[in-house]
Structure 1
């Protein structure tokens, strides 16, 4: 499984969001967007949860 966290590119942000200085971190699992977070730590926590769940599925 591939889970990655990336900061959203400015070209994918609204003009209002850019003006307000909003940053968004996307979480992708196998190249599908599965989460969006305003806090980078929350995004990495979610990534870790997904990886744990996936490893548990493989052990069963």
Structure 2
């Protein structure tokens, strides 16, 4: 399973978000968007949770 965290680029956010200097972090699992966060640390935590759940699922 592949879980990635990336900052959303300006081409994929609203003009208001850009004007307010808001960052959005995307979490993708198998290339599917599964979460959006305003803080990278929250996105990283969620990605780690997804990876842990997958490890548990595979070990059963």
Q: TM-score range by the shorter chain?
A: over 0.9
* Structure 1 residue 9 displacement after superposition: 0.7
With structure 2 as the length reference, what TM-score do the two structures score? 0.99
* Structure 1 residue 42 displacement after superposition: 0.2
* Structure 1 residue 27 displacement after superposition: 0.1
How many residues are matched? 60
With structure 1 as the length reference, what TM-score do the two structures score? 0.99
Q: Which runs of 5+ in 2 are unaligned?
A: none
Q: Which runs of 5+ in 1 are unaligned?
A: none
Instruction: Give the root-mean-square deviation of aligned CA atoms.
Output: 0.3
Q: Does 1:23 align with 2:23?
A: yes
Q: Distance in 1 between matches of 2:45 and 2:2?
A: 15
